[in-house]
Amino acid sequence: MQSFEWVDATSVEQAVQLLGDPAANGFVMAKAGGIDLLDLMKEGILAPTRLINLKTIPGLDEIKVRPSGELEIGALTTIAHINSDHRIREQYPALSEAAGHAATPQVRNAGTIGGNLLQKPRCWYFRNENFHRGEIVHGDPALSGQNQYHAIFDNRTTSMVQASTPATALIAYNAAVELTGQHGKKRIVPVREFFLPPDFTTGRVTAIEPGEVLTQVVLPPLPQGTRSAYHKQTERDSYDWPICDVAVVLEMQGKAVRTAAIAMGWVAPTPRRASESEWILAGQNVNEERAAEAARAAVAGATPLSKNGYKIPILEAVVRRTILQAATA
């Protein structure tokens, strides 16, 4: 790991200033829990010259409910705290569940939701410094290579997937992120729009601009009786990246679904909403047949690569089961 200059930021404004400074000599990055950063630095993928430590900024790790009902999660809240917070557990169980299954207990204690959302793809080509030398390979090597864990949708030119699993739940809850820029300027971006197809050269996956700090995640209040469920399908349970993960949020009207939100992660470059499936469920009672129909729709149009076709029946099963799980939650 190359050395660097470390600056303890004392405020968001200062951090923003330092991150966006065009005169900065070298490559400046923000650091929260440092989990993804350390991995990338140790692998030789990133070598920042200066790290801006966000953990010394007070007030960024709190969970609050606004009078209007939104839930604010400070960007420096650890994944462990998201999992253990009783309000999140009760109101947004899919998020609690996703947080509880991310990484290892040790990493959950250190990793923050901000860092988790901003993490670079877990694609094993991207994380191998040998693939960042021009003479080795161009374009997305996974397309014609080891693409077992890559996208089955929208994968013509790139197959990497966005890695965050809490993101899947956040998208199903229609959450948004708050990005703070120069002079305290804030912009709110729905999580759904925040993710962009990952770029192999830079690993960039989100719409954050240089000189911005992700300061908050905001979840809208849910109507009474909303039911949600989350499932992360893996090869092993102890700690694993997902084959796919699914979050289902059902706004109910009596026994029927008023609207459904079905988010699928690790199957497309960015988390994908199964719109067709949501439409199938809208206004309907959920039963086995309807769930199965919605699940079939969720995988229709998949364009598997040479090694990831197996994800299709798995995704279908997980969507179906998670819909039923949400309906009976």
Least Cβ distance, residue 151 to other proteins (angstroms):
16
Q: Alpha-carbon torsion 262, 238, 79, 121, what sign?
A: negative
Q: Which two tokens stand for residue 321?
A: 């089961």
Closest CB to other proteins among 91 and 164?
164
Task: Give the residues lining the site for other proteins (CB under 8 A).
Answer: 1-8, 10, 25-27, 31, 34-35, 38-39, 41-42, 45-49, 51, 53, 55-56, 80, 103-107, 109-110, 124-125, 128, 130-133, 136-137, 141, 144-146, 148, 201-202, 233, 235-241, 243, 307, 310, 313-314, 317-318
Least Cβ distance, residue 249 to other proteins (angstroms):
22
Closest CA to 30 of 208, 198, 197: 208
Say if CB 232 and CB 196 are below 8 A apart. Answer: no
Closest CB to other proteins among 108 and 272?
108
Closest CB to other proteins among 57 and 71?
57
Interior angle at CA 89, CA 87 and CA 95, nearest 5? 110
Least Cβ distance, residue 131 to other proteins (angstroms):
7
User: What is d(CA 87, CA 96) in angstroms, rounded to the nearest whole number?
Assistant: 9
Least Cβ distance, residue 119 to other proteins (angstroms):
13
Closest CB to other proteins among 279 and 310?
310
Closest CB to other proteins among 8 and 193?
8
Say if CB 123 and CB 117 are below 8 A apart. Answer: no
Q: CA distances (Å), 12 to each of 38, 132, 248, in order?
A: 22, 32, 34
Closest CB to other proteins among 54 and 261?
54
- Bridge partners (DSSP) of residue 248 are 229, 262
Least Cβ distance, residue 305 to other proteins (angstroms):
12
Closest CB to other proteins among 11 and 275?
11
User: What is d(CA 266, CA 243) in angstroms, rounded to the nearest whole number?
Assistant: 7
Measure CA 191 to chain center.
8
Residue with the two structure tokens 């893996």: 234
Closest CA to 115 of 43, 29, 42: 29
Least Cβ distance, residue 246 to other proteins (angstroms):
12
Q: Which two tokens stand for residue 82?
A: 């998201």
